[in-house]
Amino acid sequence: MSILAVGTTAFDSVETPFGNAERILGGSATYLSLASRYFSDDVRLVGVVGHDFPDEYVELLRERGIDLEGLEVDEDRETFFWKGRYHDNLSIGERDTLETRLGVVETFDPALPESYRDSDIVALGNLDPEIQRYVLQQVEAPELVICDTMNFWIESALESLRETLDQVDCLVINDTEARQLSGEPNLIAAAAAVRAMGPERLVIKKGEHGALYFDDEGVFSVPAYPMENVHDPTGAGDTFAGGLAGFLDAQKALTRENVKRGIVYGSALSSFVIEDFGPDRLLDLPNEEILERARAFRRLSEIPDLEPAYSA
Ligand code: AMP
């Protein structure tokens, strides 16, 4: 099986209450591919960088087995740049975007390499929804299309985003985005409205409060790992989606049980990535550590048998 990881390969500058980082490696395709490669040995990246992107970052991805045939270099423009600031609660939903410079993304028109067209799972990371659709058109028969988006595109390209959503099987967004996209303040109502836009499956991430998964059979809830040391939440969403995509890529069947397991692995990987700035924690995690964290999620929500104890 194989995964197509589509998105930005970026420079990020982040400000958190714990310090700042300038122009570090970021981007949705970066986090997606670095997370999914823990489970899938065929991760194909689609992205674009500018003349200023260092070879060392390209090597970092290549050394981890990510196929970079679909990474274009646009010598005339600058790499996508994003700058964000987190408040004391470190919430992704409440972070401020201080600057977004599209650079190479503005004219990105990805023609998929021939070898990418048979990809099984397409993971559409944050990117212009029109480009997401254009990539999708070129994949022959994907078994699953997972998609992430963010406030920037909801605000600037809503109609185009809705066209993309119509072709998506599983959407992964945070609670703020779900409310913004649907116009519904209540999350359950928001989930129904978003699913009516196309995605049969929907994950709503709630940061330190875990995530909810909705499909035709109902709702599944996963907790967040209780963490004392969160340094930079950037990339948590893409890491979650990458972990889910990677896990499902490694399974024989797309059953509900496997989706639930994938959600736990996605949550486990994103709990690691937020421990440090940028994707550092995601670079060389031992498999046993990932498994141990996933098991910790299971223990966290084990509820013993319930015996009624009413007074009357
Ligand atoms: P997340 O924290 O999971 O929402 O993703 C953050 C990553 O998305 C950062 O590494 C940014 O480089 C990237 N990013 C930020 N804004 C955008 C945007 N408008 N389009 C695509 N990628 C973005």
pTM (two decimals): 0.95
Phi, psi (deg, nearest 5) at residue 288: -65, -35
Ligand 1 pocket by Cβ (under 6 Å): 8, 10, 12, 26-28, 82, 92, 100, 126-127, 150, 152, 234-238
How many other CB atoms sit within 10 Å of the CB of residue 260? 12
Task: Residue 122: name the closest of 216, 192, 29 by CA.
Answer: 29
Instruction: Report which of residues 94 and 139 the model is more confident about.
Output: 139
For residue 83, report the distance from its CA to the centre of ligand 1, in Å.
9
Task: Supply the mean pLDDT for the chain.
Answer: 95
Q: Cβ distance 179 to 151 under 8 Å? A: no
Distance 5 CA to ligand 1 centre (A): 14
pLDDT greater than 90 at residue 88: no
| CATH architecture observed for domain 3-301 | 3-Layer(aba) Sandwich (3.40)
CA dihedral 154, 149, 91, 58 (to 10 degrees): -130
Q: How far is the CA of 27 from the centre of ligand 1 (A)?
A: 5
β-sheet with 43-50: strand ranges across: 67-74, 43-50, 3-6, 121-124, 144-148, 170-174, 201-205, 211-215, 218-222
For a substitution probing ligand 1, which of 124, 126, 154 has the most ligand atoms within 8 Å of its CB? 126
Q: Is the pLDDT of residue 309 over 90?
A: no
Strand partners, 15: 20, 85
Inter-residue contact 160 to 191 (CB < 8 Å): no
Q: What DSSP designation does 68 have?
A: E
Substitution site in 234, 239, 270, 281 for ligand 1 pocket (most atoms within 8 Å of beta carbon): 234
Please state, in angstroms and rounded to a whole number, the distance separating the CA atoms of residues 132 and 289.
33
312 pLDDT higher than 80:
no
Atom of ligand 1 nearest to the CA of 240: 3
Query: pLDDT at position 167, please?
Result: 97
C-alpha to C-alpha distance for 222 and 206, rounded to whole angstroms = 10
The domain limits of the chain are 3-301
Q: What band does 72 get if pLDDT is binned at 50, 70 and 90? A: very high
Strands 96-101 and 80-85: antiparallel
Q: What is the pLDDT of residues 236-295, one digit of tens each?
A: 999 999 999 999 999 999 999 999 999 999 999 999 999 999 999 999 999 999 999 999
Positive/negative CA dihedral, 9, 14, 19, 20: positive
pLDDT tens per residue across span 195-238: 999 999 999 999 889 999 999 999 999 999 999 889 999 999 99
128 Cα: distance to centroid of ligand 1 (angstroms): 11
For 73-110, give the DSSP string.
EETTSPPEEEEEE--TT--STTPEEEEEE-GGGGG--P
Give the closest residue (by CA) to ligand 1 atom 17. 126
Pairing of strands 10-16, 19-26: antiparallel
Distance 103 CA to ligand 1 centre (A): 14
